């Protein structure tokens, strides 16, 4: 058996297309475009690439893109003042402060300053709480993209055994919450788990988000399982995921590649969240995307 490849690029392109259609209808009704503001502090090369890609995707969807680039020595007060300005700007529906921030700025304080209703990254504690209780809010883009890919493979997720490797606030915890909302039986494993493989071998769905190259071995995977590899690790051999892809292909039923799997879905879900935010702020019904 060779695992089916889950094509994240194709899924993301389709989602961006649906968002663009929805945005065109929104502009007709609201008389304006949804707006996404992205703030970059410093010159981190990877962050600069992410910001450029986010701006491109935003504009391609017919949205307004507001980019704010600040020098690395910007103080916290200046950054917080910009966030307050964006919170009050009616043209801005989503605010994203690109992480990591320079060491002298408290990232948590900055994230807390963002209006939760413009927090399209889904990182604010208010949105984390909304997700935990099943209330309407914003879900972090990477786990939301993972769920969309999973639902394409499994239209009905209820009752499936899901294992999430990693407990970060950005991926692991919200991913587990989303799977729980789909009535999966969910286990989170992490660095203190005594026997990770004993858990993963039970999983119908395995989501790896631990940040260790090829951490998940082939024989850790239940035959026929769906494997979502969130990891993007730079190695001498190039970009690799958290799963040993070659070994997993012979056991999994379906698997995301790295690159070309989860990554493209993250930006697509960001513009989706921005569109949803704009609809909420204009009291318009959002198209299901």
Note whether residue 56 is domain-resident: yes
Q: What is the pLDDT of residue 46?
A: 86
98 is an active site residue: yes
Q: Report the first-to-last Cα separation within the chain, whole angstroms.
A: 33
Whether residue 252 contacts residue 224, with contact meaning beta carbons closer than 8 Å, is answered with: yes
On the 0-12 / 13-18 / 19+ scale of CB atoms within 10 A, 271 is buried
CATH no. for residue 80?
3.40.50.10860
Clarify whether residues 187 and 240 are in a common domain. Answer: yes
Q: Is 24 helix (H, G, I), strand (E, B) or coil?
A: helix
Clarify whether residues 156 and 98 are in a common domain. Answer: no
Q: pLDDT tens digits, residue range 190-207? A: 999 999 999 999 999 999
Among 93, 98, 244, 249, the one annotated catalytic: 98
Note whether residue 122 is domain-resident: no
Rg (CA), the chain: 19
Of 99, 115, 131, the residue at which a domain comes to its end is 115
- From the list 191, 172, 186, 271, the residue with the least C-alpha distance to 231 is 172
Q: Is the pLDDT of residue 264 over 80?
A: yes
Helices 141-153 and 263-281, interaxial angle, to 10°? 110
Range of the domain at 239: 141-263
Among 93, 117, 119, 121, the one annotated catalytic: 121
C-alpha span between 149 and 153 (Å, rounded): 7
Note whether residue 221 is domain-resident: yes
Q: Is the pLDDT of residue 1 over 80?
A: no
Q: Which 8-state DSSP code applies to residue 33?
A: -
54 is an active site residue: yes
Q: Is the pLDDT of residue 152 over 80?
A: yes
Among 54, 118, 173, 222, the one annotated catalytic: 54
Strands, E, within the chain: which ranges? Answer: 4-5, 35-41, 64-70, 94-97, 161-165, 185-189, 205-208, 226-229, 233-235, 238-240, 254-255
Q: What is the pLDDT of residue 261?
A: 97
Q: What's the pTM value of the predicted model, to 2 decimals?
A: 0.96
Which residues are CB-contacts of 285 (< 8 A; sequence separation ≥ 6)? 279
Note whether residue 24 is domain-resident: no
Which residues are CB-contacts of 183 (< 8 A; sequence separation ≥ 6)? 157, 158, 159
173 is an active site residue: no
Clarify whether residues 244 and 146 are in a common domain. Answer: yes
Note whether residue 168 is domain-resident: yes
Query: Could you give the percent of the chain with pLDDT greater than 90?
Result: 96
Residue 45 binned pLDDT confidence (cut-offs 50, 70, 90):
confident
Q: Looking at per-residue confidence, does 46 or 145 come out higher?
A: 145
Q: Is the pLDDT of residue 147 over 90?
A: yes
Q: What is the pLDDT of residue 44?
A: 87
Averaged pLDDT for residues 153-180: 97
Q: Indicate the Cα dihedral angle 98, 100, 102, 106, nearest 10°.
A: 90
Domain total of the chain: 2
Averaged pLDDT for residues 60-89: 97
CATH no. for residue 240?
3.40.50.720
* Strand bridging mode 238-240 / 233-235: antiparallel
Clarify whether residues 156 and 257 are in a common domain. Answer: yes
Query: Could you give the percent of the chain with pLDDT greater than 70?
Result: 100
Q: What is the pLDDT of residue 201?
A: 98
Give the ranges where 1-66 is alpha helix by DSSP (H): 8-30, 45-60
Which two tokens mark 163? 């294992």
Clarify whether residues 159 and 85 are in a common domain. Answer: no
């Amino acid at each position: 058996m060779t695992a089916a490849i889950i094509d994240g690029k194709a899924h993301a392109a389709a989602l961006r297309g649906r968002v663009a259609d929805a945005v065109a209808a929104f502009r007709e009704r609201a008389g304006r475009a949804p707006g996404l503001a992205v703030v970059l502090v410093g010159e981190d090369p990877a962050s600069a690439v992410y910001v450029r890609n986010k701006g491109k995707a935003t504009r391609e969807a017919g949205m307004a893109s507001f980019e704010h680039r600040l020098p690395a020595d910007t103080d916290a007060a200046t950054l917080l003042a910009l966030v307050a300005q964006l919170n009050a700007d009616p043209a801005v529906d989503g605010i994203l402060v690109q992480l990591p921030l320079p060491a002298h700025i408290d990232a948590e304080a900055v994230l807390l300053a963002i209006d939760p209703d413009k927090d399209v990254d889904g990182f604010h504690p208010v949105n984390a709480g909304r997700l935990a209780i099943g209330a309407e809010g914003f879900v972090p883009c990477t786990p939301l993209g993972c769920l969309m890919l999973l639902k394409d493979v499994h239209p009905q997720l209820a009752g499936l055994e899901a294992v999430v490797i990693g407990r970060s606030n950005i991926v692991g915890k919200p991913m587990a919450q989303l799977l729980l909302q789909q009535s999966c039986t969910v286990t989170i494993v992490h660095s203190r788990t005594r026997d990770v493989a004993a858990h993963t071998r039970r999983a119908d769905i395995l989501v790896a988000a631990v940040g260790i190259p090829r951490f998940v071995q082939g024989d850790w995977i239940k035959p026929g399982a769906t494997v979502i590899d969130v990891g993007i690790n730079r190695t001498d051999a190039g970009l690799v995921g958290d799963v040993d892809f070659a070994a997993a292909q012979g056991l999994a039923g379906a698997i995301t590649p790295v690159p070309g799997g989860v990554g493209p879905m993250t930006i697509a879900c960001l513009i989706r969240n921005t569109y949803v935010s704009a609809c909420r702020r204009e009291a318009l019904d959002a198209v299901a995307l």
